[in-house]
Amino acid sequence: MRTAVVTGASSGIGAATAVALARDNWRVVLGARRTDRLAEVAKRCGPNAIVQRLDVTDQASVDALAGGLQECTLLVNNAGGAHGLRSIAEAQDGEWEWMLQTNVMGTMRVTRALLPLLLASGDGIVITIASIAAHYPYAGGSGYNAAKFAERGLVGALRADLAGLPVRVTEIDPGLVRTEFSLVRFDGDESRADATYEGITPLVADDVAECVRWVASLPSHVNIDGLSVLARDQIGPVKTTPKAPRKTTPKAPRKATPRAPRE
Ligand code: 8X3
């Protein structure tokens, strides 16, 4: 049985990914700071799940994760998130530092620590959950856009570093997914969080988890470089207004004009 490490596995996309991978016969190591929540996710994963306290902003914590592993074939870099929706004029250093530490430095630290095992597996995969915000800047996105663009740069450089070596590198960029993401972004303000998904049918964590499971299930020679996964009611980071389907009037069949036979 091959081993997958999932960071940020205590809720949302990370938790759903761990469950999907366990169902696909992966041994899953669940990393996050909230170990009580991890224990609940581990129960849903079944007997082949291991709970590991992990703070991706702390090198010692990342070293403890790597030091406890004998094997790792798949790393899912999912830990990260947003704090605030502020313009650059109103940017708060603390929010930016948190976003850069978790999304960018955290992804670098865990990837760096697990690369020897991923290479040793002979068939490693690194799947990073970035965001549509890694492609499209939006008003108020500031620190989150900066972090996700940087994370995207990291993933591209990693793929280039590993060219010719047996580790695949994939970036998955979800759009609006109904998880705790917005609650964290708005510091627990439920009405602001709810407004993010108002008027549309957002993705759910399982939708993204299924993408991770699929990418990891492909044969070794297939590398999915990137996947943008959006709600149908979105174009890039923008919500679109669902419209009533257009009525189409069936066209009357064309009458064939009889032609004179060619001579
Ligand atoms: C979350 C997607 O559009 O809220 O990663 O930035 S968005």
Residue type, 214: W
Q: Which residue has the least CA distance to atom 4 on ligand 1?
A: 176
Known catalytic residue at 197: no
Using CA of residue 179, residue 185, residue 191, residue 193, what is the dihedral sign?
A: negative
Residue nearest to atom 2 of ligand 1 (CA): 175
Asked if pLDDT for residue 252 goes beyond 80, the answer is no
57 has pLDDT over 70: yes
Q: What is d(CA 102, CA 107) in angstroms, rounded to the nearest whole number?
A: 7
Give the residue among 38, 15, 3 at the shortest CA–CA distance from 181. Answer: 15
> By CB neighbour count within 10 A (0-12 exposed, 13-18 middle, 19+ buried), where does 66 fall?
middle
The per-residue pLDDT for 238 is 84
Q: Say what the pTM is.
A: 0.92
Nearest to 102 by CA among 137, 150, 139: 150
Q: At a CB cut-off of 8 Å and minimum separation 6, what does 66 contact?
A: 113, 114, 117
Cα of 235 vs centre of ligand 1, distance in Å, is 12
Q: Across the chain, what does the average pLDDT equal?
A: 95
Ligand 1, CB within 6 Å, residue ranges: 131-133, 175-176, 181, 237
| pLDDT one-digit tens code per residue, 146-181 | 999 999 999 999 999 999 999 999 999 999 999 999
- What pLDDT does 84 receive? 97
Across residues 179-199, what is the average pLDDT? 95
Q: How far is the CA of 149 from the centre of ligand 1 (A)?
A: 12
**Mutation test of ligand 1: which of 181, 185, 192, 234 has the most ligand atoms closer than 8 Å to its C-beta?**
181
28 CA to middle of ligand 1, Å? 26
Of the candidates 136, 138, 144, 197, the residue annotated as catalytic is: 144
Topology of domain 3-239 in CATH is Rossmann fold (3.40.50)
Predicted pLDDT at 237 = 84
Choice from 83, 142, 144 to test ligand 1 binding pocket (greatest atom count within 8 A of CB): 144
Cα–Cα dist 17/12, whole Å = 9
Q: How far apart are CA 150 and CA 148, in angstroms?
A: 5
pLDDT tens digit sequence for 196-234: 999 999 999 999 999 999 999 999 999 999 999 999 999
pLDDT of 85: 97
Distance CA 221, CA 213 (A): 16
Phi, psi of 148 (to 5 degrees): -75, -35
Model confidence at 263, in pLDDT bands (50, 70, 90)?
Answer: low
Q: Which of 56, 52, 170, 169 is nearest to 103 (CA)?
A: 56
Instruction: Tell me if 95 sits within 8 A of 81, measured CB to CB.
Output: no
Q: What is the number of the ligand 1 atom nearest to the C-alpha of 173?
A: 5
Share of the chain above pLDDT 90, in %: 89
Q: What is the mean pLDDT of residues 2-9?
A: 98
